[in-house]
Structures are given as C-alpha cells and as structure tokens.
Amino acid sequence: MNVSSGYLFKNSQVIKESYSFFDGGIIVNLDRYHYLKVMKEMCLLIPEPCFLIIEAPLSMDMEKKYRKNDESLLHKGIYYADNLNQESVKTIFEAFGDFDSCFQIGVFSIREA
C-alpha cells in the first residue's frame, strides 16, 4: 500500500486497504492514491447537515513553541466546521488535494440517527 509522506513502515507492502464498521460509523485504511476519491464518494452518503473535523500537524514555527524536547510527541491543530452540505464537504476534500500528509479527517451528520 502506498502510504502518505511522513509515515515510515518497514513492511508497508503488507499493509492492505481495509475498512471496519463501528457503532454507526466506519473507519477506512486507504492507499494514498485512493483516499480522495473514496472520501468524496463517502461524504455523499452522510445525511445533511454535516460537520467536519480536521486534525493536522502544526507548522514548524508553531511546533517549536509547544515542543518540550526532541522525544516529545508532535502537536496537531484541530479544525471544525459545521452546518455543511455534502457539496461543501466535497469541496473541502478537493482543497486538500491528495492528502499527502499526516491528516485525520472525520465527517459526521448533525442529525440524530
């Protein structure tokens, strides 16, 4: 599997694309070249209105402010947008390009199931 830059695995060829369902949600493990296509299609399945959470690495300048030493974990910024329609979510995915980085993204419906 082709993993995003920033991730190193000794045996990345043994990692496979997969998914699992949990309590009304789904977790996917995707090849970096399939991620954008699958996520754009999946966001069309989420009932509107939606909200979006993005967890992204801090810039190097911001990281220098928060990091205590070379062994401490890297920090991430959390970004949130709500009352989105499916097309808005799809546009946000397209703005991020091919997700060739260490991002985590969640899209959820505001409506109760």
DSSP 8-state code for residue 72 = S
User: Rounded to whole angstroms, how far apart are CA atoms 33 and 20?
Assistant: 20
Q: b/e for 3-35, b at 16 or more Cβ within 10 A?
A: eeeeeeeeeeeeeeeeeeeeeeeeeeebebeeb
pLDDT value for 80: 93
pLDDT value for 81: 92
Tell me the average pLDDT of the chain. Answer: 82
58 pLDDT more than 80: yes
The string of pLDDT tens digits covering residues 68-82 is: 888 878 888 999 999
